[in-house]
Amino acid sequence: MTDRRAFLSTLAGGLLAAPIAAAAQSGSKVHRVGYLSTAGSVFEPFRQGLRELGYVEGQNLVLDVRLAHGRLDRLPALAAELVRMRPDVIAAVSSPAIRATKQATTTIPIVMAFSGDDPVFCQELSSTRRQHHWRGDDCR
């Protein structure tokens, strides 16, 4: 019975390790995503959405999460910290987080989420044309 369990454990371990080793050998890109928000209430749905799209932490995704916990005065420093980490993209969740991220970078793409505001009207964007580092459903 013990030999059977050992055999099945070895077989299962090998089957699980094979795709990971193959991904490592093929040079699969690990995506680094920054996440900045005033609170953490929508972070888990964000993470789950990425997982559903095939982006899994520890495999092909690194999430750098910074939360201000309601202290808006912390957002500029948190945004600057994310920029220093050189993520591929920053998801800014809330209008104050979007503004802080915009002030921190002009080169890293920013995904605006849950702003509830018109980004042009609020002067977060001068227009939706030629804003190459901005992405989001508010930018059409």
pLDDT at residue 8, as a whole number = 32
User: For the residues 87-114, what does the mean pLDDT come to?
Assistant: 90
pLDDT at residue 77, as a whole number = 98
* 102 vs 113, more confident: 102
Looking at the DSSP bridge assignments, the partners of residue 62 are 32
CA 18 to chain centre: 27
pLDDT at residue 116, as a whole number = 59
The span from the CA of 21 to the CA of 19, in Å, is: 5
pLDDT at residue 111, as a whole number = 87
* 125 vs 4, more confident: 125
Return mean pLDDT, the chain: 74
Cβ-based neighbour number of residue 121 at 10 Å: 8
- Tens of pLDDT, residue by residue over 128-139, are 444 444 444 443
- Tens of pLDDT, residue by residue over 26-51, are 458 999 999 999 998 889 998 999 99
User: For the residues 69-94, what does the mean pLDDT come to?
Assistant: 95
User: For the residues 112-118, what does the mean pLDDT come to?
Assistant: 63
Q: In what order do the strands lie in the sheet containing 31-37?
A: 61-67, 31-37, 89-93, 110-113, 134-136
Per the CB < 8 A criterion, the answer to whether 36 and 97 are in contact is yes
pLDDT at residue 42, as a whole number = 86
